[in-house]
Structure 1
Amino acid sequence: MEKTVARAGAREWIGLAVLALPTLLLAMDATVLYLAIPQLSADLRPTDSELLWIVDSYGFMVAGFLVTMGTLGDRIGRRKLLLIGATAFAAASTLAAFAPDPLFLIITRGLLGVAGATLAPSTLALISTMFPPGQRAFAIGLWATCFSAGVALGPIVGGVLLEWFWWGSVFLLAVPIMVVLVLTGPFLLPEYRDTQAGKLDLISVFLSLATVLPVIYGIKQHGSFTIIVGLVFGVLFVRRQRKLADPLLDLRMFGNRSFSVALLVLVFTMTAIGGIYLFVSQYLQVVKDFTPLVAGFWLVPSAVVLVISSLITPKLAEKWSPAVIVGVALAAATAGFGVLALADGLAAVVTGFCLVYLGIGPIMTLGTDLVIGTAPTQKAGSAAAMSETAMEFGIAFGVGVLGVVGTAVATNGQPLLDSAPAEFTSGLNVVAILCAVITAVLSVLVFRLLKGR
C-alpha cells in the first residue's frame, strides 16, 4: 500500500495526465452521443422511449455500480481496477458502434456503464493518493478542467466524425484512448490497496442494485410499485451497512455536513444539466437545422466558459469560503436558465447556456474536492464513487425525468425529433424553468448550510 506523498513530483503530474484520458473520454462520450441522435434515429428508428433509454442507460448503470466499484478498488487495488475497466470499456464501445437495432444498443450502453463505473472512482481516488491536501484541490481542478475540455472537444470531434462517418464512429473514440491508458498506466500510476479492508459483501452489492435500478425504472415508466420496491431495498441496504464491520458504503461519511451538502448539490445540479443539454443540443439541429459539425461549433463557447471557470476555482477557494463560491455559482447558473426559459432564438440559447456553464465549473471542482477531502485515505475510492454517483445519477435522472417533461410539451404524440420548431422551443423553455427553480433553491440552501465551513 502506497501512502499519499508529501509533495507531488514529476511522476505524479505525468500520472495525472494519464488519468485525464478516461476523464476526457467520459465527457466526450456524453456530448458526441447527443449529436449522433438524429443519425442514429434515422438508422435504427427507435421509439421515443427507446431513444431515452439509449441516452440514459449508460448513466443509470454507472450510478448503480459506482459504489460497488469504488469500494472494490479500495480492496483489490485502484490501478488494477482502472486497467480492467479500461479494457472492458474498449470492448463494449466496439460492440455499441456496430449495434444492429435499438435493443442491442441499449444493452451495450448498459455494459459501457458497468465498465465506466470502474473508471471514475479509480481516477479520483488515485488523485487523492498521489497529491497531498495542499496540491489536491489544484489537481482536482485540473481533473475537472479535463472533463470540461472533453465537453468542448466532444462536439467538434463528434461533428467531424458524423460529417464523414456513420453514427457508430463516435463510440470507437474510446478504443485508442483506452489502449494508451492500459499501456502506460502500469508504469506511471501508483497502486493503492487497503490491506485492512474485509471481503466485498455480495449481499450489499445486490441490495444496492436492487435499490437504484427499480427506482430509476419506476420513474421512467411512471410505475409507483417499482419505486416502492426500490425504496424497500434501500432501507434494507442502509440497515445492513450499519451492522457490518466493513460495509460496502460507510454511512459515517454522511455525518460530515460538507460531504452531504456537496453530494446534494452535485446530484441536483447535474439533474438540471442532463435535462437542459439534451434540449439545447437538439435545438441546434431540430430547430436551426444545423449539421452535427456546425451544432458542435455552437456548443464550444459554453464549453470554453466551463473550462475557464473550472481552472480559476482553486484560486477563488483561497480567498472565499465554499458557501460563497458554490452559492454564487448556483446563482449564475440560475440566471443562465432564466435566459433559456425566455429564449426564442440562437443568440439567447447560446448566451444562456454559457451562463449556465459559468456556474457549473466551480460546482464540479469544489463540490468534488469537498467530497474527497472529507474522507479518510482508505475510503477515498468509496468517497470518489459517491461523488461520481451523484453526478452520473443526476445527469441520467435529468435526461429521464426532465426529458419526459420537455418531450410532453414539445410533442403531440409524434416523435420528438419530428416536432415543429416552435413546439420544440417551448419544450426547451419549460425544462429551463424547472432547472432554474432547482438551482435557485440549491443556492439558498448552500448559503445557509455551508456558512462558516
Structure 2
Amino acid sequence: MLALPTLLASLELTIPNLALPAISQDLSLSSAQSLWIIDIYGFLLAGSLITMGTLGDRIGRRRLLMVGSAVFGVASVLAAYSTSAEMLIATRALLGVAGATLMPAALSLAATLFRDARQRTVAISVVIASVAGGTAIGPLIGGWFLQHFWWGAVFLIAAPVSVLVIALAPLLLPEHREEALGRMDVVSAGLSLAAVLVLIYGLKHMAVNGLDIVSIAAIVTGLLIGAWFVRRQHRSDPLIDLRLFRSPAFSVSLGTLLFGVFVLFGANFFLAQYLQLVFGLSPLHAGLWTVPSACGVIVGSTLAPMLTRRARPGFVVGAGLALSAAGFGMLIPVTPGSGLPLLVLGSTVISLGLGPMMTLTTDLVVGSAPPERAGEASALSETAPELGGALGIAILGTIGVAVYRSEVTSTVPLGLPEDAVRSAEETLGGAVSAAERLPAPVGDLLLTAARTAFTEGLHLIAAISAVVLLATAALVSVMLRHVRPAKESG
C-alpha cells in the first residue's frame, strides 16, 4: 500500500520527458516553456518536502497522504486536458506540491506502522524500490501510451492510482498524528520553500549556462535564506528540531544520501546523452537500455534488509558505495565505437551498490528520529537527495561540459563553416546537428571529434565519482561502525 503513492510520484518525474515533443507541437511551446514544464514539478516537489513532512506530523500522516493523492489525481486530469502552456505549467506546479506529500507520508507511516526495526527496514526497502520501479517502467509505460493515445494520456495514468490510494488508505493504514506539537511556523515553512527553490534553480541554471551572475545570485540568495531558516529553528517550537543532527546516524546518513545521489545524477546526466548522441539510439531504445540500471537499484534496495542480518548497516552501506565506485571504474574504458555493453554493465553495478545505501540511510534517518518527528525526518531524507541531485548535475555536469569544450575546440576539423564550429563547441547535440548539415566525410570527422571529446568528459566524471564514493564509504564505515543491525536493536 505504501509503495503506491511513491510509485505515483516517481512516474511523474520520467513520463513527461517522453511526451514533451508532442506537447511542444500541440501547444506551440517556446524553449523556455518546455524547460518549465519539465522542471517545475521537481522544483516544487523539492521545495515543499520539509513543509509537507512536518504538516503530516500535525494533521495526521494518513490524512496528508489521502489529501495529497486527491490533489495529485485532480491535477493530473487538469494537466492531461491543458489547453495552453501556462495551464500545463501551473498544473505541473500543483502536481509538485501534491507529490511532496506522498513520500514523507509513506515513510513516516512506515516508521510508525512497523515498530520492529527489522520490519521497518523491509518496509522502507519496498518504498525505495517502488521509486526505482517507477523510474524503470516510466519510459516504457509512457512510450506505449504515446504510441496509442494523445500526449495527455501519460498524465491520466496517475488518476486511477490516486483513486486506489484514497480508497485503500482508510482500510489498511492507521492514522497517526502528534497532539503535543504546536502550530506550524508558517514563516519557517515559507523560508524552507524559498531556500530550496532558489538554491536548486541556481544549481540547474549553472548546469546549463555555467557559473554566471544569475546562478551565483540564486545560489547565494538560497544559502542566505537557508541560514535565516536555520537560525529561526532555535525557537521553542521549530519546524525542524535541530537536535536531530546531533545523532551521527542521522547526520551522517543524510550526508551519505546527498553524496550518493550527487554522483548518481551527475553521471546519469551524461549517460542519457551518451546513449542517444554517441551511440545514436532513439529515446525509446535509450530508455530500454537504462532499465537494467533501474533494476539494479530495486535489487540492491530489497537485498539491504537481508544483508544487515549478517553485517552492521555502516559496513553494508560502505561496501555498497565501494561497489558503485567499481562500477564508475568500468565507465573509464568506454569508447564511442564499442562501449555500449560496458556502459550498461557499469551503470547497473553503480545502481546495485547504491540501492542498499538508499534503503539503509533512509531507514537510519527515519528510525533515529522520535516518533513525533517522523514526518520531518522523512522529509529531510527526501530533501537531501533532491539537493544532491541538483548539485551533481550542476557541478559534475559543468566539469564534463568544460572538458568537452576544451577537447572539441582543439580537435575540430579545420575549414568548417563558422556556425558549425560554434554549434559543435557549445554542446554535443549541436555537433550532431551541425554534422548532419555538412557533407558526409567532413560531417563524420566533426562527429568523431565531438563524440571523442564528450567521452573524455564522461571519463573524468566517472573518475571523480569513484573517488567521492570511496571517500564516503570510508567515512560511513568509520562513523556508523557502532550502529547495530536491526536484529540486535531493542
The TM-score range, normalised by the shorter chain, is 0.7 to 0.9
1:128 and 2:111 correspond = yes
What amino acid does structure 2 have at the position aligned with 1:182?
I
Q: What's the offset of the Cα at 1:197?
A: 1.0
CA gap of 1:45–1:69, structure 2 versus 1, over 3 A, is: same
Q: How big is the alpha-carbon RMSD for the aligned residues of Structure 1 and Structure 2?
A: 2.7
* Structure 2 Cα separation of the partners of residues 58 and 239 of structure 1: 28
Q: What's the offset of the Cα at 1:247?
A: 0.8
| Counterpart for residue 384 of structure 2 | 390
Alignment of 1:327-366 (within 5 A): 327-344=318-335, 345-366=339-360
CA displacement 1:52-95 (0-9 Å, x = unmatched): 55444322322211111111001011111111111222233334
* Structure 2 Cα separation of the partners of residues 131 and 436 of structure 1: 35
CA gap of 1:165–1:414, structure 2 versus 1, over 3 A, is: farther
Mapped contact 1:266–1:367 kept (Cα < 8 A)? yes
Mapped contact 2:200–2:390 kept (Cα < 8 A)? no
Mapped contact 1:214–1:230 kept (Cα < 8 A)? yes
| Counterpart for residue 315 of structure 1 | 306
TM-score normalised by length of structure 1: 0.86
Residue-pair matches, total: 434
CA displacement 1:289-344 (0-9 Å, x = unmatched): 43444333322222222222211110111111122111111111112222224322
* Structure 2 Cα separation of the partners of residues 42 and 277 of structure 1: 27
Greater relative contact order: 1 or 2 (C-alpha under 8 angstroms, separation 6 or more)?
Answer: 1
* Structure 1 Cα separation of the partners of residues 283 and 261 of structure 2: 24
* Structure 2 Cα separation of the partners of residues 104 and 271 of structure 1: 32
Q: Percent identity over the alignment? A: 45
CA gap of 1:162–1:289, structure 2 versus 1, over 3 A, is: farther
| Counterpart for residue 482 of structure 2 | 452
Mapped contact 2:43–2:201 kept (Cα < 8 A)? no
* Structure 2 Cα separation of the partners of residues 407 and 96 of structure 1: 34
Alignment of 1:194-343 (within 5 A): 194-221=178-205, 222=212, 223-242=215-234, 244-343=235-334
CA displacement 1:222-255 (0-9 Å, x = unmatched): 432333332222222112111x222100111000
Q: What's the offset of the Cα at 1:101?
A: 6.5
| Counterpart for residue 375 of structure 2 | 381
* Structure 2 Cα separation of the partners of residues 41 and 440 of structure 1: 42
Q: What's the offset of the Cα at 1:102?
A: 6.0
CA gap of 1:306–1:343, structure 2 versus 1, over 3 A, is: same
* Structure 2 Cα separation of the partners of residues 80 and 185 of structure 1: 9
Q: Which runs of 5+ in 1 are unaligned?
A: 1-17
2:219 is paired with a residue whose SS is helix
Mapped contact 1:406–1:428 kept (Cα < 8 A)? yes
Mapped contact 2:51–2:193 kept (Cα < 8 A)? no
CA gap of 1:190–1:416, structure 2 versus 1, over 3 A, is: farther
Mapped contact 1:322–1:450 kept (Cα < 8 A)? yes
* Structure 1 Cα separation of the partners of residues 390 and 141 of structure 2: 23
* Structure 2 Cα separation of the partners of residues 108 and 403 of structure 1: 29
CA gap of 1:105–1:354, structure 2 versus 1, over 3 A, is: same
What amino acid does structure 2 have at the position aligned with 1:178?
S
* Structure 2 Cα separation of the partners of residues 369 and 167 of structure 1: 37
Q: Give 2:122's match in structure 1, choosing from 127, 130, 138.
A: 138
* Structure 2 Cα separation of the partners of residues 332 and 99 of structure 1: 45
2:482 is paired with a residue whose SS is coil
What amino acid does structure 2 have at the position aligned with 1:200?
M
2:290 is paired with a residue whose SS is helix
Q: What's the offset of the Cα at 1:46?
A: 5.0
CA displacement 1:253-278 (0-9 Å, x = unmatched): 00000100110111121122223223
Structure 1 window deviating more from structure 2 (359-368 vs 145-154): it is 145-154
Mapped contact 2:135–2:294 kept (Cα < 8 A)? yes
Alignment of 1:126-205 (within 5 A): 126-132=109-115, 133-205=117-189
Mapped contact 2:200–2:387 kept (Cα < 8 A)? no
Larger radius of gyration: 2
2:233 is paired with a residue whose SS is helix
CA gap of 1:45–1:210, structure 2 versus 1, over 3 A, is: closer
* Structure 2 Cα separation of the partners of residues 185 and 356 of structure 1: 35
